[in-house]
Structure 1
Amino acid sequence: MNLTLLNRAGARNPSSVLDGFNAADSVEFLNGRPSGEAVTILGHLPLPRAAEILSQPELERAPDLLSALPDAKATRLLAALADDRAADVVGGMNVAHRAAILRRLAPPARAAIEKLLAYPEGTAGAIMTAAFIAVPETATVGETLALVRRGDGRQAVYAVAILDAPGGRLLRMATLRGLISAAPDDSVLAAAPDADPVSVVPLTPREDVARLIRRHDLLALPVVDADRHVLGLVAVDDVIDALIAEQTEDVHKFGGMGALDQPYSRVGFLPMIGKRAGWLSVLFLSEMLTASAMQHYSDELEKAVVLTLFIPLIMSSGGNSGSQATSLLVRSLALGEVRLRDWWRVALREMPTGIVLGAILGCIGVLRIAVWQYAGLFDYGPHWELIALTVAAALVGIVTFGSLAGSMLPFALKALRFDPANASAPFVATLVDVTGLVIYFSIATLILRGTVL
């Protein structure tokens, strides 16, 4: 749909193309339109409707769309957003646009956004909303619900903070369910659990925030300072959005490439090459060590060419076992199921696991060689039993090494303060490929010396 058709469909009001669309459908529609058309539609929408759409994290190019709107409209739109979403949008703008639009905001709104932007990415402070409802402990349930009803729609209403009267420190957290279930004349404390509320500080990693919300079945988690003054709330939907973005980044890293900061269809040709070429070159250079290892054992290969038949089998089995272990440990570290100090427990677990898995593959390898030999499908020579034993022993050694290497590498990266997701499956596979060849030919030299070699 070009802009002319858009105007015709909208009967001189481009925003009418979204009539009957809910916010999610509107976002999907705008994501599929060129930037100019999306800006035109957004600019003609009533302020509440435009703010509702801009509030959706799924809206692509939100910073660019807001930057392209007239100054007055962009300022009003930004002021209508919740502080955390406004900070997300402003944070994606270039420095010049960011400074310009912040200058046009009212001082309180500007201060709230700048405060959120100051927190490091990936922390509770960076994803919390500073617009929340708080009441003193002397308030009643009826007064609290009246305050909720008078809200302007920007506050997080998953829960209400109850503050102690003298110092304004966090005392309890009341849920909406608790408030609705209590009598209007009851104290607001009657609508809150009789226990200290779970809270975090601004620099708490968002993964820890997600674990606490899941563990305690919360809809919102208060963020407090050292004196337990409430700075904001992290809502469950904000955590979900943040974790989806982080998991997307990890998946890209697991594939052996740089993380994309835009949807696949929006990434240009050259940026895509840049994201993929670096890691691909590193892996290619690493794989050159495989050629060096094979050159080192060239004499053995000349004497027993049959050994080359099993090189793909050996290399892939070690890489696969390493990739399995890496995937398990990266996820377990992210969820807090294991910690750095647990590395030795993991090693003790992966060692017998690798031996058993290698033995299973070794038995399958021996069976395959025996069937092919007896069925006349291929002649492995008079010492085929030793060839089969070599393959089986090599598989045990390589799968065990792959499991250990794949499980320990995420610990090493985390100890060095790198993202464990960088221990991607291709990287582990490359590492195990090189060492697997050394293990394979070393075992072959020991078993086949004096016969095939």
Structure 2
Amino acid sequence: MENEVLLERFEALVAEHSYAELRVYLDDQLITDITELLHELPEQAGIIINHLSIGRAAAAFRILDFHAQEDVIRELPATKVAELLNELPADDRAAFLGELPNEAVKELIKLLDPEERKITLSLLGYRETSVGRIMTPEYIAVQEDWTVKHVLEHIREHGKDSETIDVIYVVDEKGTLLDDFRIREFLLVAQDTVVHTLMDDRFVSLHVNDDQEEAIQIFRMENRVALPVVDDNGLLLGIVTIDDMLWIANEEHTEDIQKIGGTEALDEPYLDMPLLKLVKKRIGWLIVLFIGEMLTATAMGFFEDEIAKAVVLALFVPLIISSGGNSGSQASTLIIQAMALGEISISDWWRVMRRELLSGIMLGSVLGLIGFMRIVIWNRLFHTYGEHTVLIGSTVGISLIGVVLWGTLSGSMLPLLLKKLGADPATSSAPFVATLVDVTGLLIYFSVAYTLMQGILL
């Protein structure tokens, strides 16, 4: 309702050309409401941004998704673009420019002030998925021989330019990180206290070349709002804040979910992506999976004679392969999520295998018993399977144990193997594991059938 009121009021003021009143009205709105307005009226982005104070315009711009940011930039004159880009925090500016084509970046870089241009080019020089790309050089650093009074005066003077003043960093004359403090630690001691008397040298830092996914785990474990970023020599280069990590975590989670679903990660919102591009993202995996499923027909052709002798075996093929695929999909999803949360690593492979070995046997036994009982009960009711009902039921039951066990082992080990090889574990998607288990499940099923039924039905 509030968004509807905002939209109607905005359109009325624009229609009346009451731009002075519009400026006052927009500056009274929440930043989240302004971003909603930009989403609703991308063609009016120029008017909206132009009638916001530059600080609020930058605050709204930084929380838009990339494609909405592109729409805003297209609607603004060059002077306003320059003003907006220079007002943005360095990390948000680098994140936006890093998504643009090279030619566009070259043009926009020219609009930056010399100092901001230097900072931005420095950030853009780091690998796209590294911590260096998302760090900001806007932080508060103090010297170890300062008093708390000196520190608080420094914060008052320079704090407005910092990304956060919740954490204060102690450096030496070379800029080497020595320690960090939450600001409350300075507020709760006497003002003549010297900084080095409070230091315990226990701090956590990120390396500038660390992967962003690793940084997410460190933030989660350390429960920090910001972490310092250092180089090989321990020099403090910048900080990464929790808001940046939340954006990265959301992007990584979305990407993993899409990969688990058996598609390439989408680099645009679903409804904004051109249809042909969306098809291109999906067709690759579908072709791979389709070719993999062709092997199922090959496997069944290999056991053609056995099927001809005991047609009843073919009735349970869907049951067998779906059970194996389902168990494999379950296992792969659980392991990928556990790896994403930092709950397990490659070194835990043996513990994972032992758990999935026991899980597979227990899950397979339950399904095998249900399958056996279904065949026996069904035959008593409808006399479907003849005199060898128990043999058929045993074949299906034992096969289910083997197939489900193989599915859980495959689904759990494949993500760890891919991680070991340097690939993204999320590519061991549920459809991929299901296809793999489909083929091998048939081999298990017909091998069990041949062993139990040889000389009887086969």
Please report the TM-score for the alignment, with normalisation by the length of structure 2: 0.91
Q: Which residue of 1 aligns with 2:423?
A: 418
Alignment of 1:401-440 (within 5 A): 401-440=406-445
Once the two structures are overlaid, the 10-residue window that deviates more, 16-25 or 385-394, is 16-25
Is residue 2:232 matched to residue 1:201?
Answer: no
Letter in 2 for 1:8: A
Structure 2 CA distance for partners of 1:324 and 1:57, relative to 1, 3 Å: same
* Residues 63 and 90 in structure 1, CA contact (< 8 A), matched pair in contact too: no
Q: Which residue of 2 aligns with 1:161?
A: 169
List gaps (5 residues or longer) in structure 2.
Answer: none
**d(CA) in 1 for partners of 2:333 and 2:357?**
17
Q: Which residue of 1 aligns with 2:95?
A: 88
List gaps (5 residues or longer) in structure 1.
Answer: none
Structure 2 CA distance for partners of 1:105 and 1:143, relative to 1, 3 Å: same
What percent identity do the matched residue pairs reach?
A: 41
Structure 2 CA distance for partners of 1:141 and 1:343, relative to 1, 3 Å: same
Letter in 2 for 1:265: L
* Residues 226 and 240 in structure 2, CA contact (< 8 A), matched pair in contact too: yes
**d(CA) in 2 for partners of 1:208 and 1:343?**
19
**d(CA) in 2 for partners of 1:15 and 1:381?**
84
One of 28, 34, 57 as aligned partner of 1:26: 34
Q: Which residue of 2 aligns with 1:124?
A: 131
Structure 2 CA distance for partners of 1:201 and 1:242, relative to 1, 3 Å: same
Give the drift of 1:183: 3.7
Letter in 2 for 1:97: A
Q: Which residue of 1 aligns with 2:220?
A: 214
One of 90, 95, 105 as aligned partner of 1:98: 105
Q: Deviations over 1:390-427 (max 9, x none)?
A: 01110111111111111221122122221111000000
**d(CA) in 1 for partners of 2:151 and 2:282?**
54
One of 107, 111, 119 as aligned partner of 2:114: 107
Structure 2 CA distance for partners of 1:342 and 1:78, relative to 1, 3 Å: same
* Residues 67 and 93 in structure 1, CA contact (< 8 A), matched pair in contact too: no
**d(CA) in 1 for partners of 2:196 and 2:218?**
23
Give the drift of 1:16: 7.0
Alignment of 1:246-285 (within 5 A): 246-285=252-291
Q: Deviations over 1:262-310 (max 9, x none)?
A: 2222222121111111111211111111111112222222222222221
Alignment of 1:24-423 (within 5 A): 24-33=32-41, 35-56=42-63, 58=65, 60-150=67-157, 151-164=159-172, 166-189=173-196, 194-376=200-382, 379-423=384-428
**d(CA) in 1 for partners of 2:28 and 2:322?**
53
* Residues 357 and 408 in structure 2, CA contact (< 8 A), matched pair in contact too: yes
Aligned residue pairs: how many?
448
Structure 2 CA distance for partners of 1:39 and 1:301, relative to 1, 3 Å: farther
**d(CA) in 1 for partners of 2:308 and 2:141?**
79
* Residues 220 and 235 in structure 1, CA contact (< 8 A), matched pair in contact too: yes
Q: Which residue of 1 aligns with 2:448?
A: 443
**d(CA) in 2 for partners of 1:44 and 1:94?**
29
* Residues 27 and 56 in structure 2, CA contact (< 8 A), matched pair in contact too: no
* Residues 253 and 424 in structure 1, CA contact (< 8 A), matched pair in contact too: yes
* Residues 358 and 396 in structure 1, CA contact (< 8 A), matched pair in contact too: yes
Q: Deviations over 1:31-73 (max 9, x none)?
A: 233x322343223322122111012154642144225421111
* Residues 46 and 76 in structure 2, CA contact (< 8 A), matched pair in contact too: yes
Structure 2 CA distance for partners of 1:396 and 1:17, relative to 1, 3 Å: farther
Q: Deviations over 1:1-29 (max 9, x none)?
A: 9x999653434236677465311222233
Give the drift of 1:238: 1.0
Once the two structures are overlaid, the 10-residue window that deviates more, 173-182 or 423-432, is 173-182
Letter in 1 for 2:82: T
* Residues 98 and 128 in structure 2, CA contact (< 8 A), matched pair in contact too: no
Q: Which residue of 2 aligns with 1:8?
A: 12
CA RMSD, Structure 1 to Structure 2 (Å): 2.3
**d(CA) in 2 for partners of 1:235 and 1:406?**
35
* Residues 207 and 335 in structure 1, CA contact (< 8 A), matched pair in contact too: no
**d(CA) in 1 for partners of 2:406 and 2:74?**
53
**d(CA) in 1 for partners of 2:152 and 2:374?**
73
* Residues 26 and 52 in structure 2, CA contact (< 8 A), matched pair in contact too: no
* Residues 44 and 75 in structure 2, CA contact (< 8 A), matched pair in contact too: no
* Residues 364 and 404 in structure 2, CA contact (< 8 A), matched pair in contact too: yes
**d(CA) in 2 for partners of 1:158 and 1:261?**
34
**d(CA) in 2 for partners of 1:17 and 1:440?**
71
**d(CA) in 1 for partners of 2:234 and 2:82?**
33
Structure 2 CA distance for partners of 1:403 and 1:82, relative to 1, 3 Å: same
Once the two structures are overlaid, the 10-residue window that deviates more, 335-344 or 270-279, is 335-344
**d(CA) in 2 for partners of 1:254 and 1:32?**
31
Letter in 1 for 2:167: A
